[in-house]
Structure 1
Amino acid sequence: MKKLSSVLFMLLSVPVFAQQQDYPIQPVAFTSVKLSDKFWNSRIETNRTVTIPASFERCKATGRVKNFEMAAAGKGKFCTTYPFDDTDIYKTVEGASYSLALHPDKKLEAYLDSMITIVGKAQEPDGYLYTSRTIDPLHPGSWAGPERWVLEQENSHELYNAGHMYEGAVAHYMATGKRNFLNIALKNADLLVKTFGPNKRHVAPGHEVVEMGLVKLYRITGKKEYLDLAKFFIDERGKKKYNTKSKSAWENGVYWQDDKPVIAQDEAEGHAVRAMYLYSGMADVAALTGDKDYLAAIDKIWNNMVGKKMYVQGSIGAVGDGERFGANYELPNTTAYNETCAAIGNVYWNQRMFLLHGDAKYIDVMEKTLYNGLISGVGLDGKSFFYTNAMQITDAFNHPDIERERAGWFTCSCCPTNVARLMPSIPGYVYAQNGKDVFVNLFISGTGNLKVDGKSLQIVQQNNYPWDGGLAFTVNPASSLAANLKIRIPGWAQNEAVPSDLYGYQQASDKKVEIKLNGKPASYAMQNGYAVLSRKWKKGDKVEVNLPMEVRRVTANEKLADDNNKVALQRGPLMYCAEWKDNNGKASNIILPQTSTFTAQYQPQLLNGVMTLSAPIKAVDVDDNGQNIVTRNATLTAIPYYSWANRGKGEMMVWFPQAVKSVDLLAK
């Protein structure tokens, strides 16, 4: 394997020459950040040693690998369910490549090469790669359509497959310097350039992601045709004729984000994963082309999502019918869908919005999603998953489409393989830079290595986040260095539950954030949610930040009907829930009086180590004969939302009434 530094030089050298503009803020590469963080390191290591091997094994056991082998042979029958099953291999290769960059592993590298060989043999001579058709071109699957591309705007997923292939190929090239997967991707991308564009075939991809993939290939090669094609695909939206009078998201184009041109859209709409990939692609293209109309549109869409369409733990996509956003303020608890892939897409998009604007509010949303609605999607064992992430599980409301237990795999297994590729990239979200401005976005222990004004700068983080609010940063420049250290002060530490009026805290806190420099109160300015410390930094300078870790009662906007007169619980970045296991077998009978006070206690043996919350409550029971309702004194035990459903099947609640105003009788 080539040295990683030389690989990254190859990667960066071409785009610097080719690109005239880019994001004003640049992330510090994940390979430049070495973590020593207990919370995240254990998860990333589990992903490396359990999730990725399990994903490859399941790709093989379920026939996903066999599909490529049959396509290479030109005979057989497509043996999985969906034409996008190809992408589970691409995404797992991407995750394995990121992991390989951090943990060199000759055995894994050789396995990736063997998998890439299988993929390459399935590619047709002109670059087309889509096993659902290639296996038997005369009898492709129904979603594929009788000819190439004819159902692309609906369900063929030909371009979706290509997009994930490009992202996997770029990751593999970054990690190894090898071009074997990259050459396959470039051959396919060149076919797209020949096929689509002005005076060629027109289509708005039915499931976005090819736009993000093409941008990554552009960054590698400097080939502007890839960037132009990404923009072309985005600009094709809103041109197809739909039944605009229909309320069906499929018939009116909303499901595909295709009801109007993207620059005219102002709401987060349709299939939530598709939406996140579209908005991320728009951000990429806006950064690289300076398209201000794109920027204005995604700003409006972001405000709509965060202000009217996001759950309290950062999940999105409320409606199961179509895995989609609902109407404004349509955020039901008993039927909440919240696909794990949508949470991952939400991280991608908010990172890009930050890189465009430099505002901490985007990282606040990203952090909420990361610590809550995203990692809830993978079990502590690293090999069991949620496709959807529930907000309420009770015996009275046992909806069949809401998952009560984690599964090892799914017929549509996009979420497990998406988790596999997201986890090892976490170090790349910690720091960012714009000239002399150095942003500290996430509080994860470890060492970041940057270059500022041509000088090396090392930042060492030490903390016990998210359990403790005490943060320490040691700044080590190679020599005296003038720079602006920008440390994010989370909205939750400034009496802001989310950057909108969708959720708030029942009571404002008077606790203040404390910042010290070399043991003394620091002089700093607040700017866009960041504490800015400007000085000439010397080796060993130490910044200490203390974030108040109080238990906060979260209330919802009155337009969220399901949450009226209820509170959710938050401590630091974490949302909490009550689970049956800790609360005498039930969670749906809890009344949380306003007078209750909370005790937080770290329990190292519980759920791989969690901070629990306890408080005196009232519990409502029905007597043995079913005739009387009894209220008794009890103690609530709440656990971090991400950790639920790791101990069996039972009730779970996020929102708690503070008093009973009426009783609905449900017979079972």
Structure 2
Amino acid sequence: MKKVILSFALLAALTGRAQQTDYPIRSVNFTQVHLNDQFWLPRIKTNHTVTIPASFERCENTGRVKNFEMAAAREGKFCTIFPFDDTDIYKTIEGASFSLSLFPDKKLEGYIDTLIDKVARAQEPDGYLYTARTINPAAPHAWAGTQRWEKERELSHELYNSGHLFEAAAAHYYATGKKNLLNIALKNADLVCSVFGPGKNHVAPGHEVVEMGLVKLYRITGKKEYLASAKDFIDERGHFNGYDSTNKDPWKNGAYWQDHKPVVQQEEAIGHAVRAAYLYSAVADIAALTGDTAYLHAVDRIWNNMVSKKYYVQGGIGAVPSGERFGDNYDLPNGTAYNETCAAIANVYWNHRMFLLHGDAKYLDVLERSLYNGLISGVGLDGKSFFYTNAMQVKNSFHHGSLEAERSGWFDCSCCPTNVTRLLPSVPGYMYAQKDNDIYVNLFAVSVSDLKLGNKDVKIEQQHNYPWSGDLKFIVSPKSSIAFGLKVRIPGWAQQQVVPSDLYRFATTNNKEVVIKVNGQQVSYNVDKGFATINRTWKKGDVVEVNLPMEVQQIVAHEKLVDDQGKIALQRGPLVYCAEGWDNGGRAANIMVPQSTTFTPEYQPNLLNGVMVLKSTVPAVKVDNNSVTTVKQPFTAIPYYAWANRGKSEMMVWFPTGVKDVDILAK
């Protein structure tokens, strides 16, 4: 870990010289947070021991590695399907690098170095790196065009590949201190900066991520050209005269690529959801690093639109299968919900940056909802089966009302599995943040964290059983007594707010207050921007206890969400629940949950790697001998993230509160 510490010290020194402004709140690095919990740590270990090796193996077996070998030889035929398949190797290297910081592994580190060597050999002398062209420039991939970059706006993904290379290189450098991948990335970034920008080529990248990657390289090197290029790529949007601005087709008016109008004029989350959230993350980066208030206002407007009109109850975004994109306002159907796993990951990146900009816990509420529900649902408990899309319902023999009813080991377009590998080991990095003399506690997981305030060491230990229990304990141990503010997030769900808008609300009011004690004595507190701040002079062993009420809550939807009217969804703590046929007599789509229903939480350690289920008795519709009746039956709900780990089954998130009509279908 010595190399990691040195590289972060170098980063701080470089960025301190290079920039005059940045995010007002600073995230605590994930290497300073040491998990010991039973929720996240097993997932991160499974990612290390199963998901990452399986991802590398599939990159080998599917020809993704071979593409780099052929590019190095400058001969052969591109042997996979998409020109962005290079990024599956980059993303897995990024995830493996994060994982190496947590679980040192010489064998894995050595394998990564062999892959980096193949990437280096595939890079052209001027820095260009894109196997879909380099293998045979006379016959590049059909999406790539005859010349470099000519189809970048729509199809080629050349800059998308570069962006993921930059992100992987930054992670690898931070984790190992090595520059072998970083040097490849810098050479490519220098080429990109020489080709694009004022007085050079102009393009709005078709699939954003290069902007985020360039910012990371800027933070490492202090090279202002990287930051300028990231901003130039954003500023290029909305200026392409080849689109028909009057056409409502997002493919023809540029909206699919967020290219329909300049970013500073945009007001709506629109187009391909992954591309959009990567763009909005980069806009937040540029707003922070340049102080550009137009960027800040734009990203605020877009976020408000997303969270108030385009956000699924389990944290998913991107409702429309055609184009993997946002729909119109309040267009959140259950039967065809898309909710790409990559979009949930991008939403975490975006909301974390929004928190660092504004210091408001509402962004962390959105992050937590996505993280605990619509994101980790994308990877099976076995660590090697995945969802590309995350359904809201599966019914009628598993094919009606769902895009995916069972998990897959891999996809032709396998962006989601490899994206999961890089997100999971970074979770500890979202737990804490600092500003001036305040420490923010953002997320809750059993852990020991080593922080610094000025030149003083502060250790914070979390002891609890979150997300199953809301009884949180924080042991604060500065090396010597020190005064500071401990800002503990009080989740929106503990303050009677489902999301930071009127899109969803709890059906009934829970009047239980959040109780906070310091060294056994209850203290009064004020909540500002979602944080309860405890100001005191802390000494070693001080104990803070926070009791979050964990009642089962019923959620109802805004009247404009037509698919959810007359229905409720279930939430307990940060977790949204669903019902599977496995636990409910083979069916889930016939279940009703009246608002008067009460639930008993029950922890089942041998079910789905240990889950808190919700038990009750509810009415269900039965059809027998051409008669329709309702009968009372036992009901079990499981956390949404855990569905589809036992094979095919019906699944529902939104439950009717009663029978209003019956469809008669012919066999």
TM-score (norm 2): 0.99
Which residue of 2 is the match for residue 464 of structure 1? 465
**1:61-108, Cα deviation, whole Å (9 max, x unpaired):** 000000000000011000000000000000000000001111111111
Q: State how 1:42-191 maps to structure 2 within 5 Å.
A: 42-191=42-191
CA contact (8 A) 2:310 2:332 kept: yes
**1:102-136, Cα deviation, whole Å (9 max, x unpaired):** 11111111111100000000000000000000001
**1:336-385, Cα deviation, whole Å (9 max, x unpaired):** 00000000000000000000000000000000000000000000000000
- 1-side partners of 2:555 and 2:594: how far apart? 14
CA contact (8 A) 2:377 2:643 kept: yes
**One-letter code of the match for 1:240?**
F
CA contact (8 A) 2:334 2:401 kept: no
CA contact (8 A) 1:486 1:532 kept: yes
Q: State how 1:623-642 maps to structure 2 within 5 Å.
A: 623=624, 625=625, 627-642=626-641
- 1-side partners of 2:664 and 2:499: how far apart? 35
The offset of 1:453, in angstroms, is 2.6
- 2-side partners of 1:427 and 1:181: how far apart? 24
- 2-side partners of 1:186 and 1:484: how far apart? 40
CA contact (8 A) 2:51 2:383 kept: yes
The offset of 1:561, in angstroms, is 0.2
CA contact (8 A) 1:238 1:260 kept: yes
Which residue of 2 is the match for residue 17 of structure 1? 17
Which residue of 1 is the match for residue 599 of structure 2? 598
CA contact (8 A) 1:334 1:397 kept: no
Which residue of 1 is the match for residue 407 of structure 2? 406
**One-letter code of the match for 2:121?**
K
Compare 287-296 and 4-13 and name the one that shifted more: 4-13
Task: Give the 3-state SS of the residue equivalent to 1:590 in structure 2.
Answer: coil
- 2-side partners of 1:652 and 1:459: how far apart? 40
**1:438-470, Cα deviation, whole Å (9 max, x unpaired):** 100001110111111321111110110000000
The offset of 1:401, in angstroms, is 6.7
Which residue of 1 is the match for residue 207 of structure 2? 207
Which residue of 2 is the match for residue 577 of structure 1? 578
Pair 1:17–1:289, CA change in 2 (3 A): same
Q: State how 1:281-300 maps to structure 2 within 5 Å.
A: 281-300=282-301
- 1-side partners of 2:183 and 2:402: how far apart? 41
Residue 644, structure 1, aligned to residue 648, structure 2? no
- 1-side partners of 2:294 and 2:556: how far apart? 35
**One-letter code of the match for 1:567?**
I
**1:299-345, Cα deviation, whole Å (9 max, x unpaired):** 01000000000000110000000000000000000000000000000
Residue 513, structure 1, aligned to residue 517, structure 2? no
CA contact (8 A) 2:256 2:271 kept: yes
Pair 1:306–1:481, CA change in 2 (3 A): same
CA contact (8 A) 1:335 1:399 kept: no
Which residue of 1 is the match for residue 217 of structure 2? 217
- 2-side partners of 1:450 and 1:2: how far apart? 17
Task: Give the 3-state SS of the residue equivalent to 1:3 in structure 2.
Answer: helix
Q: Which runs of 4+ in 1 moved over 4 A?
A: none
Q: State how 1:434-513 maps to structure 2 within 5 Å.
A: 434-513=435-514
The offset of 1:148, in angstroms, is 0.2
- 2-side partners of 1:482 and 1:127: how far apart? 51
CA contact (8 A) 1:315 1:338 kept: yes
Task: Give the 3-state SS of the residue equivalent to 2:21 in structure 1.
Answer: coil
Q: State how 1:158-557 maps to structure 2 within 5 Å.
A: 158-241=158-241, 242-395=243-396, 398-399=399-400, 402-557=403-558
The offset of 1:614, in angstroms, is 1.1
CA contact (8 A) 1:365 1:498 kept: yes
Question: Any unmatched runs of 5+ in structure 1?
Answer: none
Pair 1:9–1:262, CA change in 2 (3 A): same
- 2-side partners of 1:568 and 1:406: how far apart? 23
The offset of 1:399, in angstroms, is 4.3
CA RMSD, 1 decimal: 1.0
The offset of 1:630, in angstroms, is 1.8
- 1-side partners of 2:438 and 2:2: how far apart? 32
The offset of 1:615, in angstroms, is 1.1
Which residue of 2 is the match for residue 33 of structure 1? 33
Task: Give the 3-state SS of the residue equivalent to 1:83 in structure 2.
Answer: coil
Pair 1:396–1:648, CA change in 2 (3 A): closer
Compare 363-372 and 243-252 and name the one that shifted more: 243-252
- 2-side partners of 1:509 and 1:168: how far apart? 45
**One-letter code of the match for 2:547?**
N
TM-score (norm 1): 0.99
- 2-side partners of 1:524 and 1:575: how far apart? 29
Task: Give the 3-state SS of the residue equivalent to 2:65 in structure 1.
Answer: helix
- 2-side partners of 1:666 and 1:225: how far apart? 63
CA contact (8 A) 1:396 1:666 kept: no
**1:139-184, Cα deviation, whole Å (9 max, x unpaired):** 0111011110000000100000000000000100001111100000
Percent identity reads 66
Which residue of 2 is the match for residue 667 of structure 1? 666
The offset of 1:495, in angstroms, is 0.4
Residue 558, structure 1, aligned to residue 559, structure 2? yes
- 2-side partners of 1:286 and 1:595: how far apart? 47
Task: Give the 3-state SS of the residue equivalent to 2:425 in structure 1.
Answer: helix
